[in-house]
Structure 1
Amino acid sequence: MIFASYLPLVAICLVLYLLWFVAHTGTRYWKYAQLPYIKGRPVVGNFLEAILMRKSMFDLMEELYADVRVKGSSLFGICRMFTPTVIVRDPELIKQMLIKDAPFFINRTMCTDPHGDPIGYYNLLMIRNPAWKQLRSYLTPSLSISKIKQMYQLVEQVGDDMVASLDVLPKVRPNARETEFKELCARFTTDVIASTFFGMQANSLKDEASEFRYYGRKIFEYGPARGMTMASFFFMPELVPYLRLKLFPRDTEAFLKTVIQQEIARREQNNENRGDFIDSMIALKNNNATIGVTEKIPLQGDILVAQAATFYMASFETTSSVLSFALYELTKNPDVQARLREEIRSMIDKYGKIIPYEALTNEMPYLGMVISETARLYPVLPFLERQCTLPEGVTGYKLEPFHDFVIPNGMPVLIPIYAIHRDPQFFPNPHKFDPERFAKENLDQIQPCTYMPFGVGPRTCLGSHFGTLQIKVALVKLLSKYRIDRSSSTPDVLTYRKNAFTLHSNEGLYADLIEDSLGNE
């Protein structure tokens, strides 16, 4: 009887002990792992400031990277909630893991439910190997150099539409108009993706109520509910299927499904072929393409929509972000802008207002240098995220000769690209915007795997070449007509949103556009 009366107390103590044990799992692991680590807090690990939205993920990762407790370490341990996670910052080790031994680090830990969220699960960003490799091989031809060249005229047209949208802005003084680059660039890339990938006119540069722009914006509007959803994909991926969370907002998903399925049906009914992304999807469906090893899953329905949704999200966000930051830096660095405009002038003098694709890609080195330096300073993501995935029966990945630590099978791995890009060891005076870093004669000074804005290894961004083309066209079109000057609203210093997992400034990127056409009208 006496013992029975203590049972509730014993049960409570047992539960509390189990909670304590689980809460300290990560710290306890690193304590005995013989690897430098940064001690985290119970439950939240090293991400309390990000979870409470006191710091952006970019600023937090840069702080962890520079922490004196792990100074000089090629890799170190942290805790992502309860989960021990390793951060790798030695370029040679990154090269070995993500290039030489890429098959062991192809997967990401982030995941969702194939039944409750097929559009999230089967997209190229989330899907796991070997289905990823199959899917990538199917999609690669749709973004080949020849396909991109075919899209060039369509991108050019949207570039003209962008300049036309600026021409009607009210003047703040003679020959001067003010604009905000983030929204302008988002509308430009939205119209490009709609035209080149889906064969549709989004008209977001002309119509503020454009559906394509409205639903694209919702993907990256990190309000409380959306912010918690996206945080769950990173911090608690194991729980995402049980919480019935979706990668895309439900109304955005419904819009994309309707638009894409209707366009596929229309083209099949009319036997229309534009040679674009939608036609590639139709060909995969009609050729009975499948993914999977044990279970062959046909590429149709939601799986096709998932690929279109992926390019809609990834191309739109990555391209518009780099483009807007490039325009911001050109505003702050008039000497760089003047040199770039002179390069554009020489191309216009040589070819006229419509610069050929080959000239844009091969004869404008400074334009490429400006874009590369922008992507270094402002990578869209704070880190690359991978999971150690080893063959059956292998329990750990050996890091010799770099370290005697063995990465356990299943452990998350982070590559802090934002911090590496701003490390003075790799890029002297790293906060200075200096396109000369990427001059042809200086490229051999950039150590491999220290510049990774589009990833590294087999899982690099599939659309990076097309994204770069869009940025080049937009910069050439805008700078052919306008010179960019500071306005009274141009921020001197940028801070980053604390509730976003991609790089967003809190400040608007404002500038004055001064009419100053290059070449003959």
Structure 2
Amino acid sequence: MIFFVCIGALLTALVLYTRQIYSRFSEAGVRHFRPIPLVGTAGKVVIRIQHLIDSANDVYTTFLEDKFVGQYLLLKPIIYVKDLALIKKITVKDFEYFLNHQGFVSEEVDPIFGRNLFSLRGKEWKDMRFTLSPVFTSSKMKHMLPFMAEVGDQMISSLTTRLHESGKTSMEIDAKDIAARYANDVIATCAFGLKVDSQSGRNNHFYRMGDKATNFGFKALLTVLGYGSVPRLMKMFKVALFPEDVRDFFKQLVLNTMNERKAHNIVRPDIIHLLMETKKGQQLTYAENSANDTDAGFDTVGKSTVGKRNVDTEVLRLWPPAIASERLCVKEYNLGKPYEKAPADYIVKVNDSIHIPIFSIHRDPRYFPNPLKFDPERFSDENKHKIQPFTYMPFGVGPRNCLGSRFALCEVKVMIYLLLQHMKLEPSKRTPIPLELAAGSFSLRMRGGHWLQLRARD
């Protein structure tokens, strides 16, 4: 009898607790889908029949005219801000109210990855951001370009060999696998000074560790949702996003590389060298360096570069790496009414999360007509004036945008240039058309795989 009474009390407490959480949006008239206890509005994501992006896009399009809408990711209420003027206020004018990220890993559980730039907060993040900014300037990227080209040549050599050995004029490739191995080798050479050929040596140790660190499958998705919903519980059970052997590998790799260079006075213009040089000098603070920050001027939202690289710009519109930009409220903030006849203003409380649904905004027909069509001419000199500010933000927006965007763009351009210079890429029989996102993954993966047909150019 005592056992059943205790179970009944626990269930009653759980019902009351979830009812309190799931009433947040209703009280202010924030529109959302009906939540299911414990999983919120992410039920289809949890049972792996819908990608997280598609779930967010559903609520975005269902209440298209609202300034912001709500979603419950497990027990975490999330506000998706859609109004462009409100996005500008949050990310620029009132940035100090939304200074931090939620974070997806605990520093207590993982003291190395838990202190990445994304997870740092407050003044510590500001100082680190402006200390690292000079490492990723365009001039520094030029010094790393030969390393990226060398890796690209390895990729072309491996593909040419495989095509020749097949005895055919064409072969089917997994484009994601090729790109992942190229990116792995670029990181190895540009960050750690290592010569790695993952295209030919497919099981090398660096690639295996890198793959484990970036393979964000269903377990990683649940971990991220867990830290956003019940962080204390996740810390109590010491749930880590990255395996221990991965953490140890990269820690020792960095320390050994630095010690080797110090001992033998090795100078190589890569990221490790630039960070070592930064460490030698005096670390600048946010206040000292803010006037010289190369990422200032957010009103333009990257429009100064629009039109110079139409193809990759359009690719990043359709498939932005920053599928959403998340912010954590540090001071209570009034968002106003979600729509004109809403019963009350919505007050964002301290430690509440707001998301800017970049993926959905990039595919909103109000901003990009016929949004699913691949049309690089949207960003031509003749059309770029039509792009509204804060509708194109593939690497995030505001002071917490992606610091490594220049690096990422540079390596992608090198890879695509070399591929198209030497190979013809065509759809294969296994190419999924139209493309759909695979459920059960935190990262963007295509349902049916990333298959293409490859043939050598004459």
Aligned equivalent of 2:405: 464
Aligned equivalent of 2:17: 22
Residues 179-203 of structure 1, C-alpha deviation per residue, up to 9 Å, x if partnerless? 2211111111111111111111122
Aligned equivalent of 2:52: 57
- How far apart, CA to CA, are the structure 2 residues paired with 1:176 and 1:45? 48
Partner letter of residue 33 of structure 1? A
CA contact (8 A) 1:454 1:460 kept: yes
CA contact (8 A) 1:24 1:43 kept: no
Rg larger in structure: 1
Aligned equivalent of 2:94: 101
Partner letter of residue 65 of structure 2? G
User: Structure 2 matches for 1:347-366, cutoff 5 A?
Assistant: none
- How far apart, CA to CA, are the structure 1 residues paired with 2:377 and 2:193? 38
- How far apart, CA to CA, are the structure 2 residues paired with 1:16 and 1:516? 66
Deviation at 1:226, TM superposition (A): 4.3
- How far apart, CA to CA, are the structure 2 residues paired with 1:162 and 1:214? 18
C-alpha spacing 1:233/1:115, structure 2 compared with 1 (3 Å): closer
Deviation at 1:174, TM superposition (A): 5.3
1:407 maps onto 2:360 in alignment: no
- How far apart, CA to CA, are the structure 2 residues paired with 1:98 and 1:271? 43
Aligned equivalent of 1:382: 323
- How far apart, CA to CA, are the structure 2 residues paired with 1:246 and 1:266? 30
Residues 68-119 of structure 1, C-alpha deviation per residue, up to 9 Å, x if partnerless? xx34101122223223321111122111111221222221122543333111
CA contact (8 A) 2:431 2:450 kept: yes
Aligned equivalent of 1:232: 226
Deviation at 1:405, TM superposition (A): 2.7
Deviation at 1:262, TM superposition (A): 0.8
Residues 13-45 of structure 1, C-alpha deviation per residue, up to 9 Å, x if partnerless? 543332111111232222212333333122211
- How far apart, CA to CA, are the structure 2 residues paired with 1:445 and 1:239? 48
Aligned equivalent of 1:428: 369
- How far apart, CA to CA, are the structure 1 residues paired with 2:379 and 2:229? 36
C-alpha spacing 1:58/1:110, structure 2 compared with 1 (3 Å): same
CA contact (8 A) 2:430 2:448 kept: no
Aligned equivalent of 1:184: 178
- How far apart, CA to CA, are the structure 2 residues paired with 1:447 and 1:439? 14
Which of 185, 188, 194 pairs up with 1:200? 194
C-alpha spacing 1:111/1:477, structure 2 compared with 1 (3 Å): closer
Which of 444, 452, 458 pairs up with 1:503? 444
Aligned equivalent of 1:277: 271
Which of 39, 42, 48 pairs up with 2:43? 48
* Structure 2 unaligned regions, length at least 5: 287-303
Secondary structure, aligned partner of 2:107: coil
C-alpha spacing 1:214/1:156, structure 2 compared with 1 (3 Å): same
Partner letter of residue 44 of structure 1? V
Deviation at 1:409, TM superposition (A): 2.3
User: Structure 2 matches for 1:151-230, cutoff 5 A?
Assistant: 151-171=144-164, 175-222=169-216, 225-230=219-224
Secondary structure, aligned partner of 1:488: coil
Deviation at 1:492, TM superposition (A): 1.7
Residues 493-513 of structure 1, C-alpha deviation per residue, up to 9 Å, x if partnerless? 222222221211132322222
1:35 maps onto 2:18 in alignment: no
- How far apart, CA to CA, are the structure 1 residues paired with 2:239 and 2:261? 33
Secondary structure, aligned partner of 2:425: strand
- How far apart, CA to CA, are the structure 1 residues paired with 2:227 and 2:45? 14
Secondary structure, aligned partner of 2:28: coil
TM-score when normalising by structure 1: 0.77
User: After the TM superposition, which parts of structure 1 deviate over 6 Å for at least 4 consecutive aligned residues?
Assistant: 6-10, 400-403
TM-score when normalising by structure 2: 0.87
- How far apart, CA to CA, are the structure 2 residues paired with 1:397 and 1:121? 30
User: Structure 2 matches for 1:278-293, cutoff 5 A?
Assistant: 278-287=272-281, 289=283
Residues 236-293 of structure 1, C-alpha deviation per residue, up to 9 Å, x if partnerless? 334332221223222211111121111011011112222321123323444575999x
- How far apart, CA to CA, are the structure 2 residues paired with 1:175 and 1:9? 71
Aligned residues: 437
Aligned equivalent of 1:448: 389
- How far apart, CA to CA, are the structure 2 residues paired with 1:417 and 1:488? 31
Residues 188-225 of structure 1, C-alpha deviation per residue, up to 9 Å, x if partnerless? 11111111111111221221012221111112334564
C-alpha spacing 1:283/1:115, structure 2 compared with 1 (3 Å): farther
- How far apart, CA to CA, are the structure 2 residues paired with 1:197 and 1:96? 36
Secondary structure, aligned partner of 2:53: helix
Secondary structure, aligned partner of 2:455: strand
Secondary structure, aligned partner of 1:386: strand
Deviation at 1:406, TM superposition (A): 2.6
C-alpha spacing 1:154/1:454, structure 2 compared with 1 (3 Å): same
C-alpha spacing 1:178/1:77, structure 2 compared with 1 (3 Å): closer
CA contact (8 A) 1:109 1:412 kept: yes
Aligned equivalent of 2:293: none
- How far apart, CA to CA, are the structure 1 residues paired with 2:333 and 2:431? 51
CA contact (8 A) 1:25 1:82 kept: no
1:124 maps onto 2:112 in alignment: no
Partner letter of residue 65 of structure 1? Y
Deviation at 1:435, TM superposition (A): 0.8
Range with bigger deviation, 41-50 or 483-492: 483-492
- How far apart, CA to CA, are the structure 1 residues paired with 2:161 and 2:3? 74
Partner letter of residue 49 of structure 2? R
- How far apart, CA to CA, are the structure 1 residues paired with 2:7 and 2:423? 70
- How far apart, CA to CA, are the structure 2 residues paired with 1:165 and 1:8? 65
- How far apart, CA to CA, are the structure 1 residues paired with 2:199 and 2:180? 9
CA contact (8 A) 1:112 1:241 kept: no
* Structure 1 unaligned regions, length at least 5: 1-5, 293-360
Secondary structure, aligned partner of 2:272: helix
Residues 452-509 of structure 1, C-alpha deviation per residue, up to 9 Å, x if partnerless? 2110101111111111111111111111112222333322222222222121113232
1:259 maps onto 2:284 in alignment: no
CA contact (8 A) 1:158 1:192 kept: yes
* C-alpha RMSD of matched pairs (Å): 2.8
Which of 73, 77, 100 pairs up with 2:70? 77
Identical-residue share of aligned pairs (%):
31
Deviation at 1:11, TM superposition (A): 5.8
